[in-house]
Structure 1
Amino acid sequence: MTATAEGQRATTTNGGAKPIFGERRGFWPQFGTYIFILGPFVAVIAAVPFAWGWGLGWVDIGLAAFFYTLTILGVTVGFHRYFTHGAFKAKRGMRIALAIAGSMALQGPILHWVADHRRHHAFSDREGDPHSPWLFGTSPIALMRGFWHAHMGWIFDRKLTNAERFAPDMLADKDMVRVHKQFGMWTAVTLVAPAVLGGLLTWSWWGAVTAFFWAGLVRVGFAHHVTWSTNSVCHMIGERPFKSRDKAANFWPLAILSMGEAWHNLHHADPTSARHGVLRGQIDISARLIWVFEKFGWVYQVRWPTPERLARVTAD
């Protein structure tokens, strides 16, 4: 079995007869989706005038950088490379820690995230893909509509991906089901913790307010758009040195902020690879963290790229 075939098999486990969609998102979860997507988005827009003359200090910058790094790596290393694609195996404590860190990015509960992303790979850039920019055609208007849909429009669809079809292994994991149900609590933690730390470090209520804004709302909103750009931009423009069934491409300007996720072409050519940036000069911070975890013995059986794996997927 080729690496590509293996990756596709991993993303469609038990995918036979079960429907793509499961239950519909209820009113209050849907309301919460709007609040926690649009709220940080408004905060990002407001950030420029806020930063111009007041309201931003080094404590805010430090806390924002810390929580951004923690939570975005929770998504890239945890939700994506580990839980969705099985790029390595992890001990129980590491599994739970990665699930919590990813949940604190406020990109949705872990079972929904994994099911959505496995569905994305099963139907990438075809009918059934939850966030392809190519679903409406190739005209300028269709691509504008597709970009909006791929970037964030798809999130507001109340139809949930069927986790029984796309993530039965996650449903069978009691730890992951528990973290999934605790999403509201981790939402509160990721917003309140920066405010508490900001208040303590500056010993002021104003420090708590500015930390909540910058290291809470703005940080979450910024991380959202970095992640969503992988869905939208990296399926529209960029280089494609590897063979994949879709239009996934490398977009180097996003490489650092996305912790290596913007080397998206290799990922779709070989989904289970623990490293996405495999060519010269392609920095992949997520892969380096996995390497560190492996050295400490916290993760094992890491699926690192090999010359043989790369040769099978290199474009002619």
Structure 2
Amino acid sequence: MMGWLFGGLIKQFEGAAKKLVRESSKEIANLFDDKLYPLADKLDYIAQESINHAIERIEELESKAKVDIEYLLNTADEKIKHQLEEINNIRERFLTETVSKSNFYIENRINQMSLAVMQAISLSQNSIEQSLERIEYLENKLFQDANQIVDKISELIDGKFELIRNELKKYLVHGLPSPLDKCRQRLKIAWKPGGLFSDVELYELSECYELSKLDENTSIDEVLKIYGQLQQNAAMMAALVRNSPELKNRAIKDWIKYGLLCNFWRNIMNNYDFKNNLISEDKSSQILLIDKQ
């Protein structure tokens, strides 16, 4: 297992920038919490999944990020030069310790993420905007990577669209309108016969039913089964709507989200051996069950 490489990288970056962040605006501090840590989680997950599914990336090492890093170091204000050099040292150490000569994918992402942090704390007029642009670029790259993985998974069910629809239809107890069904109410299809449901409506209904099983008394083992099923449903939906970029994008985002949730709760189970115990007596645990991104 590769481990939480990018999460550890961002943690070290935050430590190196801590003094500067404390003395600067809250924008930089928020950037770590709102953007960089969630991005690191996704990068770790996608990198590991690409290994699990034997995805061979055809990627050349990009030189622009390294050129931009060198430029920032050479032109930095003396007030922040030490922090930038420390971040660059962390970057170089991570590359030496974790990246093989041929793994251009991970090296590119480390360089690009390093540049995003360095741009954020460079104190230039557009530093935050530049960093956000870099993060958006990385998010787009990550989404392309996830698309490739989901396509690899979808090869196993290619063309079996009726089987997929039947799998999603298993959540329909009957095809009659059901005005008292909370999930149908939420999706505004309570009065619609099940036989007229679109693929999207079937998918969203299955998602609602699975999530409705979760509460503060759900065991972690059951939580993992539910999120695992939701991720499988998302992969099937991506195959079903592959000719609609918008719908496929939504399915892939769900595939990433529920994969991350599986990892989150699996780590809790492994760390605390809660497999057969309840998650929490506190009802606020429901927030963690459904809102962890």
Q: With structure 2 as the length reference, what TM-score do the two structures score?
A: 0.28
Structure ranking higher on relative contact order (CA contacts 8 Å, 6+ apart): 1
Higher helix proportion, which one?
Answer: 2
